[in-house]
């Protein structure tokens, strides 16, 4: 699998790492059941602190994209591909709304107001 980080990105590092993994899953770089490289390997290859990587992976587990299994490491969850694609679009929507001056609550209200 190929992971890439944007060096000019100003978001917190753990969000950037989570974003890179989310994109890799959405683009089919790794499928359901595939084992992710260990946090230590990811941290060495991306030149990011291992705790930052772990924080990113835990966040992705909470989103339902990853599964942590004892003895099997971190694997991609079933159905994670389409799910992560949606996650990416929601994040883009929230970011775009913020740029235009709308808060998250405004966006939620807009969605509620949809027919």
Partner 1 sequence: MAVRTTAVLWTVGVTAVLAGMPFVVRERLPDRLATHWGLGSEVADGSMPLWAASLVPALLWLVTAAGATVPLLRARATAARPWTAAVLLPTGIVLAGSQAAVVRANLDRADWREARQPGAWIVVVLVVAVLAAVAAWFVATRRARAEGGTGSPDSGAPALRIPDDRRVAWFSRTVNPWMQLVAAVTGLVAVGILVAAVGGLADPGGLWAAFAACAVASLSCALFSSVQARVSERGLEVSFGPLGWPTRRWAPGDIDAARAETRGPAQVGGWGYRVSGLGTTVMLRAGECLVIRPRGRRADFAVSVDDARRGAALLNALRTDRSA
What is the binding site for partner 1 (CB under 8 A)?
A: 1-8, 35, 37-38, 40-42, 44-47
What is the separation, in whole angstroms, between the first and last Cα of the chain?
40
Look at the block and give the residue holding tokens 């959405």.
26
Q: CA 38 → CA 1, 45, 66, 71, 89, distances in Å?
A: 13, 11, 13, 12, 27
CB of 44 to partner 1, least distance (A): 7
CB of 3 to partner 1, least distance (A): 5
Other CB atoms within 10 Å distance of the CB of residue 59:
17
Cα dihedral 77/20/51/45 (nearest 10): 110
CB 4, CB 45: distance < 8 Å: no
CB of 2 to partner 1, least distance (A): 5
User: Which CB sits closer to partner 1, 49 or 103?
Assistant: 49
User: Which CB sits closer to partner 1, 9 or 92?
Assistant: 9
CB of 75 to partner 1, least distance (A): 12
């Amino acid at each position: 699998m190929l992971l890439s980080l944007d060096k000019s990105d100003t978001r917190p590092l753990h969000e950037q790492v989570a974003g890179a993994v989310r994109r890799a899953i959405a683009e089919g770089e790794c499928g359901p059941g595939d084992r992710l490289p260990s946090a230590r390997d990811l941290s060495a290859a991306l030149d990011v602190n291992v705790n930052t990587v772990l924080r990113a992976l835990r966040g992705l587990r909470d989103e339902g994209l990853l599964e942590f299994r004892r003895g099997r490491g971190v694997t991609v969850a079933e159905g994670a591909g389409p799910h992560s694609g949606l996650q990416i679009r929601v994040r883009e929507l929230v970011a775009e709304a913020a740029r235009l001056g709308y808060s998250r609550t405004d966006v939620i209200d807009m969605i509620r107001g949809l027919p």
